[in-house]
A and B are shown apart, each in its own frame.
Chain A
């Protein structure tokens, strides 16, 4: 009996609902109760009958082999460890020890009809087990008063029934009348209930003090042919915990022994599931439309990014604002002519932080035949002083990440330091500072009027400015996603993907040429 790691606990709140066309009499459930830690694997737990027959078999083999083995001790061991296995059929009455004593003793004329039938059961039990009654599990069937009490207590009805409204929305009939007729209808086709209980108390306790523990409640709706089981049947390796009134922990599992579904029913159900799924997808596509947005050009990749300019810090100014500009290199196309904008003027807090929270977004497409160069985001931080003068506080740029995902980016900025003291004074007092006509010039010198082939920043003094924090989300869409999906499934690389495209293109060209030739031939024949 080693500890099996596959076994795990399952929440007792699971509720199983099953539909069946099989007669309910075929319903059989197997319950195993054991104390944790001692018998871990429920598969090894045998019912007393099973173990008894095994014993007999073993004894026979033992006597044949001439070996004497003490099997009874093994059996006793299981019994004292308080474990029990039982097969229960639908509405099969299994008496508890208390009931055996109660029904076994009184069988007079005052006993009810059900009691008289239980008398026979109790007698049988007493004969069989005698005083050595070790069974934990017993049942309450539909006609028992305990079942009625349970029903009243829990207002027990299957969730399927609950979902159906009590009266029609539009009803011309008298409400009270329809309600009473419904009640009578309910009583004729009400749910049948069966409770599987356990009695963990020692055998010598008084019956009035025994508090049985509910293991499982099974109900059957004959009209809808729905069985609801609470808790649900546990699959292999799963168990439910239960505590005895004395606080001892037990584990139990429930297994369905009968086949509630025929293969035809399984097929029917899966068809139903497919229908449900199809309806779901049809519903969605009827709302959104069936065509997903494609890149503008079939041989373009789509590149979408959205983000936020969160905040800027370490700037030495009273008010600051960030201006941004997206520069898409050759090969990139944008829906909008130019993507740019500016944040509000935000006051710099005592901690040197200015919060903007400005959303930016761009939708670009990229022609894969060009050399891949990332689009760039340029930033210019402006400051505003008390007099309303604007100064450039910093320049910065980033290359937009090309792979999809979320990015937290910090843009470091710098500003030009003027070579002379006078120029700095001019900047301070008059805000006279326009080193770049175009912010893109900080990367591309040709935009600043420079005709130099190679841009040297020699002799160009800058001073460190603050930082801008960005948040970017990048989403990409492939150009020919139908084909790409195929190739990715087959594990074919990009090169093969391209070669397939080339072959397809050649085929298309050849076909169009053939059509032309055929047309020409037709014309010459006509002429």
Chain B
């Protein structure tokens, strides 16, 4: 059920003298000029699904949204986990597609453009024995320009370097994971890693910005 509130008397606009109707509107606009409004950003969308992951019939994704120091979360969940989706294999190839349609809805207020919000996701594969095997890490910046964006996040997973690790992985399953998964969200220390690409996560995001223009910020 949608509840509609009408505070002003604009509904019956024709029933009142014009000046009486205009007066509150003018009043409101004068008022608005004097209040401080910080820039706000709405990020509304969904984790659509994953494609191209080669192994694993059941995939789920842990996601988190993070932003820099000048950003404050006003509403919405900053992290979550999708359901486990059994994918369908695309005929003629080894890869499949998995759909989660997991909603993302966050609202930020900010006093600066540095540290633009990022979406980090970790894709796991739930195997037959109920173990969660890492399938990939991925990160993306939320688009800066307002509107609808289709984003593809290429994911990677760390490679086990030694022969022993590879043997263990081949026979027992499991995977090598980062000690600190947040490392995947940043560019630091990446050069120490050896990785292999896994698949891609598809994200659909609506960006709504507010009051950025007031501070001379152009988002495009």
Chain A: residues with CB nearer than 8 A to chain B? 11, 13-18, 159, 232-233, 235, 256, 259, 261, 263, 265-267, 269-274, 277-278, 281-282, 284-285, 287-293, 302, 304, 306-308, 310-311, 319, 321, 341-347, 349, 353-361, 363, 403-406, 471, 473-481, 484-485
Contacts and interface: CB of A to CB of B under 8 A. Distances in A.
Contacts of A306: 116, 141, 144
B11 A473 contact: no
A474 B216 contact: no
28 contacts: A14-B4, A15-B1, A16-B4, A16-B6, A232-B4, A256-B12, A266-B16, A267-B24, A269-B24, A270-B24, A273-B8, A278-B31, A284-B37, A284-B40, A289-B38, A291-B111, A292-B38, A292-B39, A321-B191, A346-B156, A346-B197, A347-B196, A357-B139, A405-B145, A406-B149, A474-B220, A476-B218, A481-B214
B216 A484 contact: yes
Given A344-B194, A361-B141, A473-B141, 7 more contacts: A256-B12, A270-B24, A274-B31, A281-B35, A345-B195, A475-B217, A485-B213
Nearest to A341: B187
Given A278-B35, A475-B113, A477-B113, A355 B197 contact: yes
B103 interface: no
Chain B interface size range: 35 or more
A473 B144 contact: yes
Contacts of A289: 38, 111
Given A13-B1, A292-B38, A477 B72 contact: no
B143 A473 contact: yes
B140 A308 contact: yes
Contacts of B190: 341-344, 358
Interface string B182-220: 000111001111111110000000000000011111111
Nearest to A158: B3
Contacts of A272: 7
Contact of B194 (A302, A345, A474, A479): A345
A363 B114 CA distance: 7
Interface in B120-146: 137-141, 143-145
- B contact patch SS: mixed
B171 interface: no
B72 A287 contact: yes
A479 B215 CA distance: 9
B83 interface: no
A256 B14 CA distance: 12
Given A13-B2, A265-B9, A478-B216, A282 B141 contact: no
Contact of A359 (B24, B72, B139, B145): B139
Given A277-B32, A282-B36, A475 B156 contact: no
Contact of B143 (A310, A356, A406): A406
B3 A17 contact: yes
B19 to A, nearest CB: 10
A319 B159 CA distance: 11
Given A233-B11, A293-B114, A345-B194, A288 B217 contact: no
A15 B38 contact: no
B163 interface: no
A403 B145 CA distance: 11
Nearest to A384: B194
A269 B197 contact: no
Contacts of A277: 31-32, 35
B154 interface: yes
B110 interface: yes
B167 interface: no
Contact of A288 (B6, B38, B118, B149): B38
The 9 closest A-B pairs by CB, nearest first: A481-B216, A405-B220, A355-B197, A293-B112, A404-B220, A270-B24, A478-B216, A344-B193, A266-B9
